[in-house]
Amino acid sequence: AEQAVQVCRSSMLSRAALVAPRLSRGFRAAKPAQDVLAPDTSGPLMAQYHKLNWALLGLTPVAFAVSPSLLAMPVDLALGVAFPLHAHFAMNCVIADYAEKFLGKGAKGPSRVAMLGLTGVTLLGFLRLNLTGEGITGTVKRLWRKST
């Protein structure tokens, strides 16, 4: 009986040894840096992109409705993050479809890096506008004000 238990344990260990590498390979395959550079290849990030569309659909009119009040700043800060992320996800889909077609082979990677840089600069610009200026909605509303 003891020998049968020993055989069972050894077969369970060998089965675990065969399954463990497959599980760990799947875990290592998720590269967060690659997901940031190519969000169109990540299912969870594309799901977040679609949720972000709905958030922007709701936040944009709210921002204009509450603009000259204390509620404008948190909404502007949220828009200052949401708009660049939305653009980053969408433009990476465009890069995936057209970069190699118009810019040649090997252009997809550098285009994605350039888009990440542009997204970062846009995020910082919106943050500066929201913290030191009128905010996003105040700046957009200024387009329709008569100059004095």
Largest CA distance in the chain: 97
pLDDT in tens, 71-80: 899 999 999 9
- Average pLDDT of the segment spanning 112-119: 95
How much is the pTM? 0.73
Inter-residue contact 84 to 123 (CB < 8 Å): yes
3-state secondary structure of 61: helix
pLDDT in tens, 5-39: 444 444 444 444 444 444 444 444 556 666 778 88
Q: What are the helix (H) ranges across the chain?
A: 2-29, 32-37, 43-65, 72-103, 108-132, 136-142
Inter-residue contact 50 to 85 (CB < 8 Å): no
Q: What is the pLDDT of residue 119?
A: 96
